[in-house]
């Protein structure tokens, strides 16, 4: 599967008014790579201009077709007949991830949105560039304390992803905290940086433990929700895992957020594996032991370093 950047020129299409009117984005105009666009491909939506950046993330749900625009009133000029690719948005951000956060990453330097910004849609993203975008969306969601305006992937409803295998080979994440660029909703840049570094170390260490126990460690693919780590047993049983760092100041909010995330991921992956189990992997045992009961009642295994054998036995 491929990953793409779809660019929106607000001088041509009034996306702000489109969203304020409560419209649902279900397709986007494309000019290039039409034979390579397919079901399950991931995409990010890019707003051009100095105040633009990444504003949405989702996946393609079909191949392009030539048609008249259903949203002609939002175009600054008559769009005519165009090629449109169907899609589903998984996450809208209230404020774009600033363009410098994405374009300033060394991995993005060779992307066509940098070298050919005025080329037609879509812009191809390499796996490394796609991972940069995924990380930025994760940081934006965690900084706001929510997942943005999330729409379910619709696996059960559409069946589009039912036959698509979950994940690909695990990709080790960098363990040094990235520079934090100030964004609305970030309460403490130092805290965010510390959390990122701890989160990465926890995730990589658990992935190594999974592999050492003979299981297949997985990172999400373009058609998958944004889980941190998953692993697959020989019989096809899947475990999906959300990783969370904890401090005394953020323990409850992190556990609350992590529990909601892993339940969401589990629900989205049902139907794509024989069984889907959920694990919330945290930095240490929570000070409030009530969270053990909360997670148990929700069907989620709450665990921390030292309990690798237990969580891996879930998939044995």
**Residue where one domain finishes, among candidates 116, 151, 186:** 151
Of 93, 116, 151, the domain-final residue: 151
Q: CATH number of the domain that 220 lies in?
A: 3.40.1350.10
248 plus 130 within the same structural domain? no
pLDDT at 185: 42
Answer whether residue 187 is part of any domain: yes
- Residue 194: per-residue pLDDT: 65
- The per-residue pLDDT for 158 is 30
Q: Could you give the number of structural domains in the chain? A: 2
Taking the model in full, what pTM does it have? 0.56
What is the per-residue pLDDT for 193?
59
Residues 181 and 306 in one domain: yes
Give residue 122's domain range.
3-151
Residues 303 and 172 in one domain: yes
Same domain (yes/no): 209, 297: yes
CATH number at residue 109: 3.10.590.10
Which residues of the chain have a pLDDT value below 50? 146-161, 177, 179-191
Q: What is the pLDDT of residue 236?
A: 82
Q: Are residues 83 and 175 in the same domain?
A: no
pLDDT at 315: 56
SS3 for the chain is CCEEEEEECCCCECHHHHHHCCCCCCEEECCCCHHHCCCCCEEEEEECCCCCEEEEEEEECCCCEEEECCCHHHECCCCCEEEEEEEEEEEEEEEEEEHHHHHCCHHHCCCHHHHCCCCCCCEEECHHHHHHHHHHHHHHHHHHCCCCEECCCCHHHHCCCCCCCCCEECCCCCCCCCCCCCCCCCCCHHHHHHHHHHHHHHHHHHHHHHHHCCCEEEECCCCCCCCCEEEECCCCCEEEEEEECCCCCCHHHHHHHHHHHHHHHHHHHCCCCCCEEEEEEECCCCCCCHHHHHHHHCCEEEECCCCHHHHHHCCC
């Amino acid at each position: 599967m491929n990953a793409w950047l779809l660019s929106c020129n607000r001088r041509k299409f009034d996306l702000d008014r489109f969203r304020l009117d409560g419209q649902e984005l279900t397709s986007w105009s494309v000019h290039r790579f039409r034979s390579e666009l397919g079901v399950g491909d991931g995409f990010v939506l890019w707003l051009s201009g100095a105040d633009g950046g990444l504003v949405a993330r989702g996946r393609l749900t079909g191949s392009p077709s030539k048609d008249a625009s259903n949203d002609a009133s939002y175009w600054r000029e008559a769009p005519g007949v165009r090629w449109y690719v169907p899609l589903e948005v998984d996450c809208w951000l209230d404020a774009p991830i600033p363009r410098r956060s994405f374009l300033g990453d060394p991995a993005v330097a060779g992307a066509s949105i940098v070298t050919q910004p005025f080329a037609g849609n879509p812009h191809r993203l390499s796996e490394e560039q796609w991972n940069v975008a995924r990380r930025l969306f994760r940081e934006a969601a965690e900084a706001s304390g929510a997942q943005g305006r999330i729409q379910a992937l619709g696996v059960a409803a559409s069946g589009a992803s039912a036959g698509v295998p979950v994940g690909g080979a695990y990709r080790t994440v960098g363990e040094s905290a990235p520079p934090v660029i100030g964004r609305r909703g970030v309460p403490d840049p130092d805290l965010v940086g510390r959390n990122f570094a701890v989160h990465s170390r926890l995730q990589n260490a658990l992935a190594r433990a999974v592999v050492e126990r003979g299981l297949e460690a997985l990172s999400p693919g373009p058609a998958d929700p944004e889980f941190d780590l998953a692993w697959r047993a020989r019989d096809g049983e899947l475990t999906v895992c959300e990783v969370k760092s904890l401090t005394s100041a953020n323990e409850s909010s992190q556990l609350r957020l992590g529990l909601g995330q892993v339940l969401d991921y589990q629900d989205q992956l049902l139907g794509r594996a024989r069984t889907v189990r959920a694990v919330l992997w945290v930095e240490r045992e929570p000070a409030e032991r009530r969270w053990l009961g909360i997670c148990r009642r929700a069907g989620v295994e709450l665990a921390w370093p030292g309990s690798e054998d237990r969580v891996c036995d879930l998939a044995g």
